[in-house]
Amino acid sequence: MNGTPRDKRMSIDEVVGSLASGMTIGIGGWGPRRKPMALVRAILRSDLTDLTIVSWGGADVGLLVRAGKVRRLVYAFVSLDSIPLEPNFQRARQAGTIPEVVELDEGMFQTGLRAAAQRLPFLPMRAGLGSDVLVNNPWIETVTSPYEDGETFVAVPALRLDVALVHLNRADCHGNATYLGPDPYFDDLFAMAADRTYLSVEQVVDTAGLTVDTPVQRLLLSRMLVDGVVETPNGAHFTTCTPDYERDEKFQKAYAAAASGSDEDWAAFEQRFLAGDEDAYQAAVRTFAEEAR
């Protein structure tokens, strides 16, 4: 028996080809920070539909909602930071075009992922008590402590995922991965809550290279959690991927203007940036950057 870990490198199209309509897909990152946007763009190009998306949302949610890919959205917020509400999401939410939405307190969202990671049906917590989260989601139950305190808690349901998509800075070909920026953004929880995890990274390096000038504690994902690795330079654009690059604010403003504008404005944006494959997207972004100087 060969003791060498498996080489899990895949292409973007191979990852998306392994997905199916109707799946529950968790998308890592945080708002406009370190989102697996190359994989999201590939889903846009696919015929996948009827998806349940679980995300601390940013443009990933906005794009998929605008494209009509989402049947059910589970989120704590959907923001671009410098633009408080993601405009494609805002448009769809106000128009009522997302068939089903579940808006959770941020703590409840995290606890739901933790329950799924531990393969529990729910975990108790205090967040949400007395709030409209329970009013707007009457199917979420409360539980009473079986001990003498008799305290009431929210029974936060597990956010079980068929697939998690996350983006990190570096990985080896086996799926061990590290982040180099200031925050892991709970990407490990998404991976543990999912049946399968696909990881996009700025660069695939050899295993020894993962800890060169990098603290070992920043090794966030073990290969045991990862089913596929895709090398996607600039693959989080236009979100941050610190320290490799920061958020592309000029592009984000152009995206938001198109999303908030007329249907013709959005169609022009789609034609320029989203009609082709990932290489075409990156080429269009480079042209945009030159024009914006």
Residue 191: give its domain's CATH number: 3.40.1080.10
- Asked if pLDDT for residue 1 goes beyond 70, the answer is no
- Total residues found in the chain within this entry: 293
pLDDT at 2: 62
In a domain, 24, yes or no: yes
Mean pLDDT of 158-180: 97
pLDDT in tens, 182-201: 899 999 999 999 999 999 99
Nearest to 59 by CA among 82, 83, 32: 32
Q: What is the spatial distance between Cα 157 and Cα 148, in angstroms, rounded to a whole number?
A: 24
Mean pLDDT score of the chain: 95
Mean pLDDT of 148-171: 97
- pLDDT band, residue 293 (cuts 50/70/90): confident
Threshold 0.85, pTM exceeds: yes
Indicate the number of domains in the chain: 1
b (16+ CB within 10 A) / e for 16-28: beebeeebbbbbb
Instruction: Label residue 170 left, alpha or beta by phi (over 0 means left) and psi (-120 to 50 means alpha).
Output: beta
Determine contact, residues 15/228, Cβ cutoff 8 Å. Answer: yes
In a domain, 254, yes or no: no
In a domain, 277, yes or no: no
Q: How does DSSP classify residue 216?
A: G
By residue range, what is the domain housing residue 106?
12-121+158-236
| CA dihedral sign, ordered 230, 234, 239, 245 | positive
pLDDT at 292: 86
Residue 272 neighbours by CB distance under 10 Å: 17
In a domain, 111, yes or no: yes
pLDDT at 4: 78
Angle formed by the axes of helices 37-45 and 59-66, nearest 10°: 0
pLDDT at 142: 97
Strand partners, 177: 171, 221
